[in-house]
């Protein structure tokens, strides 16, 4: 590979994979999107229930709730992935990712403006080639935004509860190079793997990063954060195209 295209798929170090977000993929959902980061594809769907979790009722907590569930479909990987239900429990990775998706959505919504409602966001991975959690978060926001638009149109809620947008992207160090949006071969070989969740306004929601038998410098961390910011800005622009009001 040349210095201009140092990656196995020909991308530059600061280049996202081809991004596609298609709205309305699940017609029975309140809002939905098919989010693709290269070969990684995730269906994200938001549905609304007119109730809140028991703990909110027991503690007299005002407002509503937003939560998420995440799963990888059996055919999303080369080897069949067993469904959690067949094993009788969710694996730790699944629980970690769906909690991350839920936290990311709750960070950009005023829950008091959706009183008495729970918005469920289901993220189902159709095809996994690295970055399933970042694609899930990016697509989940689009599904949530479309659901909120429908609730406003139907006058089910009175005010727009969204305070910002949210998207996520991976960054990492592979063979001493800092790369944006790792696919599976890069993620597999990465010395450092980070997932960055940010608002459209440029604020951080979550930074997950670790070295794989490797340490990284402050300079490398700053370079990863800089690349992530660039990536999130591009993802936010894609989200805005999908959720823009038709006039």
Cα separation of 133 and 233, whole Å? 18
Q: Which of 78-82, 167-171, 183-187 has the lowest mean pLDDT?
A: 78-82
CATH number, domain of 56, equals: 3.30.230.70
How many folded domains does the chain comprise? 1
Q: Is residue 3 part of a domain?
A: no
Q: Is residue 157 part of a domain?
A: yes
- Report the pLDDT value the prediction gives residue 6, as an integer from 0 to 100: 74
pLDDT at 1 over 80: no
Return the percentage of the chain with pLDDT > 70, whole number: 95
Q: Is residue 9 part of a domain?
A: no
User: Tens digits of per-residue pLDDT, 108-124?
Assistant: 999 999 999 999 999 99
Q: Is residue 88 part of a domain?
A: yes
DSSP letters, 84-116, are HHHHTS--HHHHHHHHHHHHHHHTTB-GGGSTT
What residue numbers bound the domain in which 93 lies?
Answer: 19-243
- Report the pLDDT value the prediction gives residue 85, as an integer from 0 to 100: 67
- Report the pLDDT value the prediction gives residue 5, as an integer from 0 to 100: 54
Helix (H) or strand (E) holding 151: helix 132-153
Beta bridge partners of 174: 177
Q: Which pTM value belongs to this model?
A: 0.93
Q: Is residue 11 part of a domain?
A: no
Q: Is residue 131 part of a domain?
A: yes
Residues 143 and 101 sit within 8 Å (Cβ to Cβ): no
Query: 195 burial class (0-12, 13-18, 19+ CB within 10 angstroms)?
Result: buried
Q: Is residue 13 part of a domain?
A: no
């Amino acid at each position: 590979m040349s210095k201009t295209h140092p990656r196995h798929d020909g991308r530059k170090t600061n280049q996202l994979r081809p991004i596609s977000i298609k709205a309305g993929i699940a017609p029975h959902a309140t809002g939905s999107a098919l989010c693709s980061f290269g070969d990684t594809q995730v269906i994200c769907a938001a549905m609304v229930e007119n109730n809140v979790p028991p703990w909110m009722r027991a503690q007299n907590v005002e407002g509503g709730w937003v939560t998420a569930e995440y799963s990888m479909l059996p055919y999303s990987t080369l080897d069949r992935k067993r469904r959690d239900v067949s094993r009788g429990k969710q694996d730790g990775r699944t629980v970690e990712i769906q909690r991350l998706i839920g936290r990311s959505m709750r960070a950009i919504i005023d829950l008091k403006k959706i009183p008495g409602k729970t918005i469920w966001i289901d993220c189902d991975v159709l095809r996994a080639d690295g970055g399933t959690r970042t694609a899930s978060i990016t697509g989940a926001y689009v599904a949530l935004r479309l659901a909120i638009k429908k609730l406003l149109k139907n006058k089910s809620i009175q005010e727009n509860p969204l305070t910002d947008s949210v998207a996520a992207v991976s960054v990492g160090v592979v063979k001493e190079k800092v790369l944006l949006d790792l696919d599976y071969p890069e993620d597999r070989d990465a010395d450092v793997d980070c997932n960055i969740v940010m608002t459209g306004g440029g604020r951080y929601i979550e930074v997950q990063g670790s070295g794989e038998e490797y340490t990284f410098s402050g300079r490398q961390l700053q370079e990863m954060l800089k690349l992530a910011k660039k990536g999130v800005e591009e993802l936010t622009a894609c989200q805005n195209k999908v959720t823009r009001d038709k006039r």
